[in-house]
Amino acid sequence: MLEDIAPHRLDIGYGPKRKPAPDSLVLAARGNFILCALEGGAVRLPRLDELDSAQQRQEFWHLLNLDDTGIFMPQGTLTARAPYSWQPHQVLRGGNPQELCFAAYTARQLSLWYQDHRFCGRCAHELERSSQERALECPKCGAVVYPKICPAVIAAVTDGERIVVTRYHDRPYRGLALIAGFCEIGESPEDTVRREVMEEVGLKVRDIRYVGSQPWGADSDLLLGFVCTLDGSDRIVRQEDELSEALWAQRSELPDGSGLSLTRTMIGLFKAGKLVPGALARA
């Protein structure tokens, strides 16, 4: 999956005092776009020493490290200069090298969180970075704001040789999907599985078991994969505003292999007869 980058290592250790080195990488994010160079399928982020001197002098905040290389966000604006240009962040999905793409995905998530939390939601004073932990603090009222992570479930509903597959109604991703949805306040992930399966396809399920997880930085999600078994009628009642398709697929009809996403990997595991509790757990 996207985050499986061994032997490379993403180090998310918090370093508010770290300063960029000439070979540090710069992650400039603006809405759905990031500043990068594309060479074939290869993605490159600008190094600090590739920026002009005025841009190098601005303040940079440390986001994370990929192996020994720091990735920093600029506090001002960056001008695109060849070979770098503003590209939709989706170029990171499936781009090379995978470790850089995953690091940039995660760095972008952090950068957007910083950009979206400049002021205190309680008293509107400007927030400051904590000196202790990955958080923003309000010097006026003491409020502490942590990075946003949204837990969501991916549910594989199975019945012997069959599994429920779906396609989304109005999202760019057109491939096969499983039942998916965000955890609501007060819900356990298993509760979310039961509720989402009922809402999206009108089925009851039992034996809800954890398969594995995936951090999905594009939307600040933490995906939690579950497998469960049909309990009762197999008649699908599709939620029409959410899904364009929802049906029982036979194991033999599914694509082989895994992929960058948890969904695709779970479908591949079911095809191979290996979608069992804990199959993707990282011991």
Instruction: Give Cα 169 distance to the centre of its chain.
Output: 20
User: Cβ closer to Zn ion: 125 or 148?
Assistant: 125
Positions in the binding site for Zn ion (CB under 5 A): 120, 122-123, 125, 138, 140-141, 143
User: Cβ closer to Zn ion: 143 or 222?
Assistant: 143
The DSSP code sequence of 108-126 is HHHHHHHHH-SB-TTT-PB
User: Cβ closer to Zn ion: 119 or 173?
Assistant: 119
User: Cβ closer to Zn ion: 50 or 137?
Assistant: 137
Kindly provide the residue ranges of all beta strands, DSSP E only, lying in the chain, ordered along the sequence: 10-11, 25-26, 29-30, 33-39, 42-44, 60-66, 69-74, 85-88, 128-129, 136-137, 144-145, 150-159, 162-168, 179-182, 205-216, 221-230, 243-250
CA 139-73-147 angle, 5° bins: 50
Where helices occur in the chain by DSSP H, the ranges are 53-56, 98-116, 189-201, 262-271
State the minimum distance, in angstroms, from the CB of residue 144 to Zn ion.
Answer: 10
User: Cβ closer to Zn ion: 119 or 182?
Assistant: 119
State the minimum distance, in angstroms, from the CB of residue 121 to Zn ion.
Answer: 8
User: Cβ closer to Zn ion: 145 or 176?
Assistant: 145
Torsion of CA 14, 17, 21, 24, to 10 degrees: 30
State the minimum distance, in angstroms, from the CB of residue 111 to Zn ion.
Answer: 22
Q: Distances from the Cα of 123 to the Cαs of 112, 126, 131, in angstroms?
A: 21, 9, 21
Query: β-strands 144-145, 136-137: how paired?
Result: antiparallel
Closest C-alpha to 138, from 121, 120, 115, 118? 120
Instruction: Give Cα 197 distance to the centre of its chain.
Output: 22
What CA–CA distance (Å, rounded) separates 169 from 165?
Answer: 13
User: Cβ closer to Zn ion: 88 or 121?
Assistant: 121
State the minimum distance, in angstroms, from the CB of residue 110 to Zn ion.
Answer: 21
State the minimum distance, in angstroms, from the CB of residue 125 to Zn ion.
Answer: 5
State the minimum distance, in angstroms, from the CB of residue 138 to Zn ion.
Answer: 3
State the minimum distance, in angstroms, from the CB of residue 127 to Zn ion.
Answer: 8
State the minimum distance, in angstroms, from the CB of residue 22 to Zn ion.
Answer: 37
User: Cβ closer to Zn ion: 124 or 237?
Assistant: 124
Locate 271 and state its tokens: 């095809």
